[in-house]
Every structure is written in C-alpha cells, then in structure tokens.
Amino acid sequence: MLVVGGGLVGLTTALVLRHHGIDVALVEKRATTSPQPKARRFDMRSLEVFREMGLAATVHEAARDLAHHDHMASGRTLAESEQLPLWRPGGGAPMEISPERPCLIAQDVLEPVLRRAAEDTGADVRFRTALTGFEQDADGVLADLHDLAADRRSRVRAAYLVAADGARSPVRAALGIERSGRGAIGDPNVNVYFRADLADVVRGREFNLCQIRHPESPGALASVDGRYRWVFMAPGGEVDRDWPALLRTALGVPAPDLEVLSVLPWQAEMLVADRYSAGRVHLAGDAAHVMPPYAAAGANTGITDAHNLGWKLAAVLSGAATPALLDSYDVERRAADWFAADQSSRRSQSFGGEPDPTLAHPFVLAADGFQYPAGAFAGGPDEGGEVEPVTDFAPVGRVGARVPHRWLDPDRTVSTVDLGGPGWALLVSDDPQRWQRNGLPAHRLDADFLAPGEALLLRPDDVVAWRGTDPAAPAVVLDELLNP
C-alpha cells in the first residue's frame, strides 16, 4: 500500500492500515509535518478513531495546553473581552454520546503525534519524498518517487494508492477528476500567525476563539497554545499591511515581544470531487473535499475517510473481500462529505445571524451522526430502511449509521463504539450463545434501542451493517457485503 501525503489524513490512513496489519509506505514531499497550526478542533468521532488506534490518551495529553479553552469570548479588544458562557446544543446538561471527549489541539501539535505513532507501528514513513508520477494496471500501481534529500529517483509498485495529497491534489489532477460544489464562500480572509506572551491578558478569560470588534482591526483571535501562539483571522484578502500595529490594536495591550510568524490569505470554498476512486487510486481528505472551517469539519471528515477506506482496503488485501467492496468507499464517503461541506457552507452564511432550524444538529457532525443512504450494509435507507433524522441527534442503531454509544461495563471502560475494529462484531439483546454460529464476537447489551431478540451487525468502522432477529442471517449478510 502506498499513501501520498503526510498530513493528518495520510498519517491517519497509514495508522488505520497498520492497525489492520497491512504493510504501508507513506511519502511526504515536505521535510516536516505542518508548520502551520491550521485545524484545531477535533471532534468526538476523530477521537474515537484515535481511541481505536490506542492513541486517544496520547492526543489528549498533547492537547493539554488548550484543555480549558472551550469558551468563546468577545470584546472590542482582547484586553476588554469577556468570556461567553459555554454553549451546549439544547442548552442542557452534556449528553453522553461518545466514550471520548472532543479536543482542541493545533494541527502542528497533532501531526507529529500521528507521525510518531505511524512509525512506531511499523509504517514506512518517508518525508522529503515526492510522488512525481504514477500509472496503474489491472494488478497495481507503479509510482515514481523522488527522494529529495538524496536526490534519488525510484519506482515502487503498490497494490493500491491513497492520495491524501491535499486540496490541490496532483493525483486528482492527473486522474482528471473534477470537483463540484458552491465554490468560493464569502469574502477572502487573512490568517496572521504570531507569537506574543499574552498569559497575563488571557488569564480568567481563556478562549478558543475571541471575536474582536475594534473598528480599526476587527477579526477573530484563535488560541494555538493559549499563551504564546495565536492566529488572528482578519477579513479582506490584503496581505501587505502593518500587521504588528493592527495586532496590537486588536489586543489592546503593547505586547512588546510580538512577532509575526506568517501571513496567509485564504478563501473558504466548498468543493467535492466528482469521484473518490479511479481504479486502484482513492482520494481522501482535502484531496477529495474542501469546506469552510466554521463547522470545523474539514480535518474531521478526512479522518473518517481514512477510517472508512482503511478497513475496506485491508479486507481486500487480506483476501477477505473482493475489490468490489471498495466501490462503497465513494458511495458512502462522497455522500457524507458533501453533507458536511454543505452544512459548513450554510453555517458560514448564517454566521452571526439567526440560527437556521433546518441545519443539522451539531452532534450529527461531531459524532458522525450522518447515516449513509447506500453502501456496504443491508437494509439501509435506499433499500427502505429507517431514516436517521438530521435536525435532531437521535441514534437508535439504524442501518448505515454509527452505533449509538453505551457503556458495556460498570466501570465505563468499554463502549459499544469500541466493538467494531479491527474486526466485525455483534451487539445482541439476548444470549450471545444464540448468535455463536456466525463466528463473530457477540456482546450482550440491555438497551432502549434494541428490541427483545434483536441484534446489530457492526462493521470495523462501527457502522451498523444489518439489524434483525434471525441468528443465521449475520454470516450470510457479511459474506454478501464482502463479496458484492
């Protein structure tokens, strides 16, 4: 297996493949992981994926700088700002919807954690190595690599190639895959990444994002480490401005040590590739979709792409499934990513305005509550199965959706979400012995969403693949899904 791109999504893909025991090489043309903080909000579903890889605790530990920065703040300047009350969907107590908490961690802190973990699990991770071309035939992909450090060129053969090579994706371009969507959303912006010790100003008003309303320097200030590193997002595409002066105006303090590290213009866009797969090449992450950052779904959807594609590639490479299983990657993830990109675009448009009641419940995005209409499961929505609501978060184990989270033990260490991966599993409401003939681990749970005698068949990515009461059915369904 060859993965191109050592960003978040390429590294997660390598981790998922290693988790399934697959040999994988990853090439990244840069010398290091991202030097920019970029994404900072990783939702429950991404943490569930890291949990499956045994990495959630490490990620939370790496995220400790921003552990108490969940609030939003607002003010004319940072010095005058006030922390706003923590917003919760529905306004009430937190719902327990996942075994994991979301976390705020800058991408330039997270990526080295993922890189180290991928290397530790035996992935062949090669930075300063670029993919310069590729061709494919019926048996595999022939890739041209350039080791930029040694200036050495080589050709490697791989059964499949995953292109996690970012929004401009040279692989997507070489395949001639177009993108569709709303295109540019809103006005251009500039992200000013800077350093200044603001510990004294921030103390007592710790924030994730602080809206600055100063008429001469409006924008939003994002915490990167909560003390020294910050990103100021300013409206307008003009890069060449007196940023130190504008930043000091927005901060409302002299900040004598302030140092601008980079100034990057950006434009929110919603674009989704028209195909995610072409023969033995599959697109994932920004290579497949870009979306405005306001729902914080860009990086998170990419991680779910990797999780979805990883088990399917592993099933095919191990001989457990026929290659036709991989068709479901495009069917499932393109629908889910289009949904997230559309929701993110509509959130940006209603930003600051009245809440739109037709928007999805926030947990539907944060806990991967999107139900695939069609894909590698039996009896989903496109086959007349029950449809999961979108404006409400009400998971009940519908086919094509992630299994609802429930703790399986009194100590609350094992969740239903832990049952899938790397293998398949059954969640049953009665005696597990009754389901033994399927050769799958069967876990008993008394749950409101399981009728007496009913069971759920869980895929390695925790999606419900079938539900029913016939103990002879899961093995048959599993065989049909793996060999469509």
Ligand X SMILES: Cc1cc2nc3c(=O)[nH]c(=O)nc-3n(C[C@H](O)[C@H](O)[C@H](O)COP(=O)(O)OP(=O)(O)OC[C@H]3O[C@@H](n4cnc5c(N)ncnc54)[C@H](O)[C@@H]3O)c2cc1C
Binding site for ligand X (CB under 6 A): 4-10, 27-30, 38-41, 107, 130-131, 164-166, 170, 191, 266, 285-287, 293, 296-300, 302
Residue with tokens 């990620």: 59
- The nearest distance, CB 119 to ligand X, in angstroms, is 16
Report whether 282 contacts 305 (CB < 8 A).
Answer: no
193 to each of 68, 78, 243, 285, how far by Cα in Å? Answer: 21, 16, 10, 24
- The nearest distance, CB 305 to ligand X, in angstroms, is 8
Q: DSSP labels for 307-371?
A: HHHHHHHHHHHTTSS-GGGGHHHHHHHHHHHHHHHHHHHHHHHTTTS---TTSPPHHHHHTT-PP
- The nearest distance, CB 30 to ligand X, in angstroms, is 5
- The nearest distance, CB 164 to ligand X, in angstroms, is 5
Residue 256 CB burial class (10 angstroms; 0-12, 13-18, ≥19):
exposed
Report whether 230 contacts 198 (CB < 8 A).
Answer: yes
Report whether 131 contacts 138 (CB < 8 A).
Answer: no
Nearest to ligand X of 188, 323 (CB atom): 188
Nearest to ligand X of 233, 394 (CB atom): 233
- The nearest distance, CB 39 to ligand X, in angstroms, is 3
As a three-state string, the secondary structure of 420-484 is CCCCCEEEECCCHHHHHHHCCCEEECCCCCCCCCCEEEECCCCEEEEEECCCCHHHHHHHHHHCC
- The nearest distance, CB 38 to ligand X, in angstroms, is 4
The one-letter amino acid at 90: G
Nearest to ligand X of 19, 406 (CB atom): 19
Q: How far apart are CA 441 and CA 421, in angstroms?
A: 12
Pairing between β-strand 124-127 and β-strand 129-136 as defined by DSSP bridges? unpaired
SS3 47: helix
Hey, how many other C-beta atoms are within 10 angstroms of the C-beta on 148? Answer: 15
Nearest to ligand X of 287, 403 (CB atom): 287
- The nearest distance, CB 296 to ligand X, in angstroms, is 4
- The nearest distance, CB 149 to ligand X, in angstroms, is 13
Nearest to ligand X of 304, 416 (CB atom): 304
Nearest to ligand X of 148, 475 (CB atom): 148
- The nearest distance, CB 171 to ligand X, in angstroms, is 7
- The nearest distance, CB 97 to ligand X, in angstroms, is 19
Which is nearest to 311 in space by CA: 295, 333, 293, 290? Answer: 333
- The nearest distance, CB 166 to ligand X, in angstroms, is 3
Q: How far apart are CA 118 and CA 109, in angstroms?
A: 15
Geometric angle at alpha carbon 79, from 75 and 82, rounded to 5°: 45
Nearest to ligand X of 286, 332 (CB atom): 286
Which residues, 6+ apart, have CB-to-CB distance to 411 below 8 Å? none
Nearest to ligand X of 286, 462 (CB atom): 286
- The nearest distance, CB 198 to ligand X, in angstroms, is 20
Q: How far apart are CA 146 and CA 150, in angstroms?
A: 9
Question: How is residue 85 annotated by DSSP?
Answer: P
Which two tokens mark 350?
């209603």
SS3 269: strand
Nearest to ligand X of 207, 449 (CB atom): 207
Nearest to ligand X of 303, 376 (CB atom): 303
Nearest to ligand X of 263, 447 (CB atom): 263
Is the torsion defined by CA of 262, 266, 270, 272 positive or negative? negative
Nearest to ligand X of 106, 202 (CB atom): 106
